[in-house]
Structure 1
Amino acid sequence: MKQISIISLLLLALNSFGQKSEILAEPKVDERVELLSIVFRLADSKEYSSNKFPKYVENIEKHFQPYKNHELINYIKKKLRRKGIGYDAVMHMAINLSDNYPFQPIIPFSKEIPEERWGKKRASKFLQLLNRFYSDANCEKFFQENKAVYKTASGNFQKVHDELDVNWYQEFYGQEHKGEFRIVNGLGNGGGNYGPSISIADKEIIYAIMGTWSVDNLGMPQYELDDYFPTLLHEFNHSFVNHIVEKYHTELSKSGEAIFAVLKDIMESQAYGSWQTMYAEAIVRAGVIRYLKDHNYPNEIIETELNNEMNRGFSWTDKLVQELERYGQNRDMFPTLESFMPELVKFFDNVADNITEIEKCD
Structure 2
Amino acid sequence: MKSIIKNQIVTALLFSITVLNAQSQSLNERPRNSKDIISVEFLKNIEFLGFVLHIGDTEADYSQTFTNHPLRLFLDKKREQLRNEESISRVFELGEELSYSLFVELFTKMDELPHNDGYEIPSELLQKYSLNTSADISLMQEIMEQVYIFYEQSEFELFWKTHQEWYKGALKEINEIKPDNVLIDVLENFYGQQFAKYKIIPSLTFWPGPGFGFEGENIAFFVLGPFNHDLKFNNTERLKTLAIHEFGHAFANHILETSCINIIEETRPLFDPIAESMYSQSYPGWSYSVNEHFVRAGEVLVPEMMNNKSLSESNLFFNTEEKNFIYLSFIVDQLRKYRILEGLSYEESVQKTLEDLKKKFMP
TM-score bracket, shorter-length normalisation: 0.7 to 0.9
Alpha-carbon separation, structure 2, partners of 1:46 and 1:180: 38
Matched residue SS, 1:99: coil
Q: Which amino acid aligns with 2:262?
A: T
Match of 1:9 in 2: none
1:251 aligns with 2:263: yes
Q: Which runs of 5+ in 1 are unaligned?
A: 1-17, 355-362
**Cross-structure match for 1:160:** 177
Aligned partners of 2:173 and 2:233 also within 8 Å = yes
Could you say what the CA RMSD is over the residues aligned between the two structures, in angstroms?
Answer: 2.7
Matched, 1:306 2:309: no
- 2:43 pairs with 1:30: yes
Alignment equivalent of 1:271, drawn from 282, 298, 303? 282
Runs of 4+ in 1 over 6 A off after TM superposition: 45-48, 103-107
330, 337, 341: which is aligned to 2:350?
A: 341
Shift of the 109–48 alpha-carbon distance from structure 1 to 2, 3 Å rule, reads farther
What percentage of aligned pairs have identical amino acids? Answer: 17
CA distance in 2: counterparts of 1:63 and 1:266, whole angstroms: 35
SS of the aligned residue for 1:157 comes to helix
Could you say what secondary structure the match of 2:126 adopts? coil
Query: Contact (CA 8 Å) 1:91, 1:194: kept in 2 or not?
Result: no
1:50-69 mapped onto 2 (5 Å cutoff)? 52-54=65-67, 55=69, 56-69=71-84
Is 1:43 paired with 2:61?
A: no
Deviations 1:35-66, CA, capped at 9 Å, x for gaps: 11221222217689696554232121223432
Q: How many aligned residue pairs are there? A: 322
Partner of 1:213: 227
Q: Which residue in 2 is equivalent to 1:358?
A: none
Which residue of the partner structure matches residue 204 of structure 1? Answer: 218
Rounded to whole Å, the distance in 1 between the matches of 2:61 and 2:350 is 34
Paired AA for residue 166 in structure 2: V
Distance 1:159 1:47 in 2: 32
C-alpha displacement of 1:176: 2.9
- Residue 166 of structure 1 aligns to a residue whose secondary structure is helix
* Aligned match for 2:110, one of 90, 97, 103: 97
Q: Quick one: which amino acid aligns to residue 203 of structure 2?
A: G
Q: CA deviation at 1:198?
A: 4.5
Secondary structure of the residue that 1:196 maps to in structure 2? strand
Distance in 2, Cα, partners of 1:152 & 1:338: 41
Whether contact under 8 Å (1:24, 1:181) holds in the other structure is yes
**122, 127, 140: which one aligns with 1:123:** 140
Match for 1:120: what amino acid? I
Letter in structure 2 aligned against 1:294: M
Give the match for residue 188 of structure 1: 205
CA contact (8 A) 1:195 1:239 kept: no
For residue 241 of structure 1, what is the amino acid of its counterpart?
A
CA distance in 2, matches of 1:160, 1:225: 6
SS in structure 1 opposite 2:178? Answer: helix
Distance 1:206 1:105 in 2: 27
Q: What's the CA shift for 1:21?
A: 5.4
Partner of 2:190: 172
Note the C-alpha offset of 1:287: 0.5
Greater C-alpha Rg: 2
Gaps of 5+ in 2: 1-31
Change over 3 Å in CA distance of 1:162–1:227 after alignment to 2: closer
Report SS of the residue matched to 2:197: strand
Which residue matches 2:5?
none
Partner of 2:198: helix, strand, or coil?
A: strand
